[in-house]
Structure 1
Amino acid sequence: MIEAILFDKDGTLFDFQATWGTWAGDLLFELSDGEPHRQEAMAQAIGYDLERLRFYPDSPAVTGTPETIAACLHPFSELGLPALVAWMNDRAAVAPQVPAAALAPLMAGLAGRGLRLGVVTNDAVAPTRAHLATAGIEAAFELVIGSDSGYGAKPAPGQIAAFCTRTGIAPGRVVMVGDAVHDMKAAQAAGACPVAVLTGTTPESALAPLARVVLPSVASVPDWLDRIADTP
């Protein structure tokens, strides 16, 4: 019996490329002071295509923490590393998010089933809460756990384990919905049920071997719950 659903944020609740593609181009332009060679070097460092304004699937920005991404950019920046992390988090907090589904009614429907909801993300908590609040869904989540919450980052299981410990829900009754391999591996390591969606940068071929099911987006989660409820 499923008692809780955890969601990754970027690429899961919000479409990754639609949200971060153009934003990253603007960020790199500002950080490089508009110098083309420096901007291109920064783009290569974080696995970003400046012409198409899209991240490559293996970009550290897809799976990394803000500290990971800042470390890639730091050699090309005049800011110290902590200042660069803070600068990026401030800009990320106000980045326009593109929801991967109609999130408010989706979360209301899941809560109406008696499910407890949470977010576990490799982003920092402050920008995560800002994005959830802008989308009108922050109150839907019992816990929001980020890479700076003290429980590590995915693919390690610490964030999911912390949710289970704090809610008293057994990991086997928790679903982890994410768009990346590290989400699936974190779910497996924690003993939760891994469910993948295709609104990130990771192809289905990489997710399917690790996930119980691969869905087009989070909008398909209620139908999937109905299907497994009808399965003996």
Structure 2
Amino acid sequence: MSAAQIEAVLFDKDGTLFDFAATWNTFAARLIERLAEGEDLRRHGLARALKFDLGAGGFLPDSPVIAGTNREMAALIAPVLPGRSVDDLEALIVAEAENAPLSEAVALVPYLAGLAARGLTLGVMTNDSEAVARAHLRAAGIEGMFDFVAGADSGHGAKPSPQPLLAFAAATGHAPDRVIMVGDSLHDLVAGRAAGMWTAGVLTGLAGADALAPMADVVLPDIGHLPGWLARAGI
């Protein structure tokens, strides 16, 4: 199998298209403050549940939120907030997430246009909700540049299951071994390997190269380095 066979690129969203820390640390800090309602014990309880360092203002590397779904995040904090259901909290998280500050990993419009000019089919599969994903892509002016956008609630499942990745392949008519999954977490890469796809890890999330390398065909500083790698591989 040669990289020259790659016909499509499936991106994760958070930590891949958008820098994770710059986007989601701010979101989480705001969410914690809103839910704490001025109560310090509740604030610290929420931070512990999310594995968020209040002093540093960022997620710990082993936080389950990093690659988790909005519902999983809601389930983590529900025990700290008696009287608030997981459904209620999930809806709140989704509403807050739609307005999260976005920091593009690279200038996305020209970057994606360049990939499309190579004839590559483009998609996004995120463990965020589809509505939030589309809101973020729309805000960045790139929603229409993708042939496929799916979230954990789109009916295909969530990573690390390969099913949503295989749904992209089926929807766009590409064999899985002609697709490269690009992501910043092991969830992305494990899903890609299980789907029979190429996998590229990027370092714009919280995982380091050593963590990603065992499941990646290549580890890159950010998605901006992908075209160069594809060119060197002969595509």
TM range (shorter): over 0.9
- 1:209 is matched with 214
Q: CA deviation at 1:26?
A: 1.2
Q: CA deviation at 1:27?
A: 0.7
Aligned residue pair count? 230
- Rounded Cα–Cα distance in structure 2 between residues aligned with 1:84 and 1:76: 11
Matches within 5 A, 1:58-97: 58-77=62-81, 78-97=83-102
- Rounded Cα–Cα distance in structure 2 between residues aligned with 1:145 and 1:153: 9
- 1:173 is matched with 178
- Counterpart of 1:114 in 2: which secondary structure? coil
Matches within 5 A, 1:133-152: 133-152=138-157
Question: Which has the higher mean CA deviation after the structures are superposed, 19-28 or 208-217?
Answer: 19-28
Q: Which residue identity lines up with residue 39 of structure 1 in the other structure? A: R
Q: After superposition, what is the alpha-carbon deviation per residue over 1:165-213, rounded to whole angstroms, capped at 9, x for unaligned? A: 1112100000000000111100000000010000000011010111000
* 8 Å Cα contact 2:26-2:101 kept in structure 1: no
Identity over the aligned pairs, expressed in percent? 50
**Residue segments in structure 2 that go unaligned for 5+ positions in a row:** none
Matches within 5 A, 1:27-176: 27-77=31-81, 78-176=83-181
- Rounded Cα–Cα distance in structure 2 between residues aligned with 1:168 and 1:223: 25
Matched, 1:188 2:193: yes
- Rounded Cα–Cα distance in structure 2 between residues aligned with 1:219 and 1:59: 26
Q: Which residue identity lines up with residue 19 of structure 2 in the other structure? A: D
Q: After superposition, what is the alpha-carbon deviation per residue over 1:73-122, rounded to whole angstroms, capped at 9, x for unaligned? A: 11122421111101110110011111111111000000000000000010
- Counterpart of 2:215 in 1: which secondary structure? coil
**TM-score, normalization: structure 1?**
0.97
- Counterpart of 1:119 in 2: which secondary structure? strand
- Rounded Cα–Cα distance in structure 2 between residues aligned with 1:112 and 1:168: 18
**Residue segments in structure 1 that go unaligned for 5+ positions in a row:** none
Question: What is the aligned-residue RMSD (CA, Å)?
Answer: 0.9
Q: Which residue identity lines up with residue 12 of structure 1 in the other structure? A: T
**TM-score, normalization: structure 2?**
0.96
Q: 4+ runs of 1 displaced by more than 2 Å?
A: none
Q: Which residue identity lines up with residue 217 of structure 1 in the other structure? A: D
Q: Which residue identity lines up with residue 37 of structure 1 in the other structure? A: L
Matched, 1:13 2:39: no
